[in-house]
């Protein structure tokens, strides 16, 4: 397993400086925010070319929502996602992290015909079939992320994301597992990871309080053991707040995580 960090967490006046610091601290990857990334493509490609640190992933950055009631918002989201999949491929990233919807449902309740959640599931699977095909053409992956109950009503546990992946059944649709969201929603984080198995293609790291690993009380050792048990060898990227000076705390977090990976 390889450690990565979101670009915005790393102090520095330029991307090359941030990459240099990450490498010195023991990180192997960097995760980019998707918003505006296409316009930065030459800068990012140039910096990565001269660094041993690789692009791990692209995190969201698309407009609209694929599950909006307004078809124009759905179309806007899908077009942005397709574009970002090609951007992710252009920088050599594993894939694009994708959250279907934040907050409550926007689709009407049509019970007894169908609940909003059932309509969302069916619509999402239909859209993901096309988006996963785009990911395949681009040469990257679409990474479905479950959130927690305070951020979404839909897809909050890994098993729910697995159900979507199994329904779509496309090899370029995978899951992104986030330790912070799992600490809220999963009764047993290692068991949830083992159940999701080979669907997991990326991991986000944050402690129970959404700060750096080691600044809360999440049991990372058992979670990492479960990832090893399913044969996971990919990136695990920090997505969290930092209590203290990042120049001191980011290297300390890398040391903490590597100790728990062994």
Catalytic residue ranges: 145, 239
Which residues, in sequence order, are CB contacts of 32 under 8 Å at separation 6+? 6, 7, 44, 55, 57, 58, 59, 91, 93
HSE-up of residue 241 (Cα within 13 Å, Cβ side): 8
For strands 95-98 and 141-144, give the pairing.
Answer: parallel
**Entry field: residues in the chain:** 262
């Amino acid at each position: 397993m390889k450690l990565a960090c979101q670009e915005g967490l790393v102090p520095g006046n330029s991307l090359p400086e941030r990459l240099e610091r990450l490498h010195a601290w023991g990180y192997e990857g960097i995760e980019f925010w998707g918003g505006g990334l296409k316009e930065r493509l030459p800068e990012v490609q140039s910096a990565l070319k001269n660094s041993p640190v690789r692009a791990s992933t692209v995190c969201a950055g698309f407009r609209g929502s694929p599950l909006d009631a307004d078809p124009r918002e759905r179309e806007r989201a899908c077009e942005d996602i397709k574009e970002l999949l090609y951007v992710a491929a252009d920088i050599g990233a594993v894939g694009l992290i994708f959250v279907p919807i934040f907050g409550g449902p926007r689709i009407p309740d049509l019970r007894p015909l169908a609940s909003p959640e059932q309509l969302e599931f069916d619509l999402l699977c239909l859209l993901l079939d096309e988006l996963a095909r785009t990911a395949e053409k681009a040469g990257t992956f679409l990474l479905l992320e479950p959130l927690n109950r305070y951020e979404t009503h839909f897809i909050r546990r890994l098993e729910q994301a697995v159900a979507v992946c199994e329904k779509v059944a496309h090899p370029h649709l995978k899951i992104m597992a986030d330790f912070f969201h799992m600490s809220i929603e999963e009764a047993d984080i290692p068991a949830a990871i083992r159940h999701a198995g080979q669907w997991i293609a990326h991991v986000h790291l944050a402690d129970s309080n959404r700060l750096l690993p080691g600044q809360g009380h999440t049991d990372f050792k058992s979670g990492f053991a479960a990832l090893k048990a399913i044969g996971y060898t990919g990136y695990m990227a920090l997505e969290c707040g930092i209590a203290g000076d990042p120049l001191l705390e980011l290297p300390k977090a890398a040391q903490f995580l590597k100790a728990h990976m062994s």
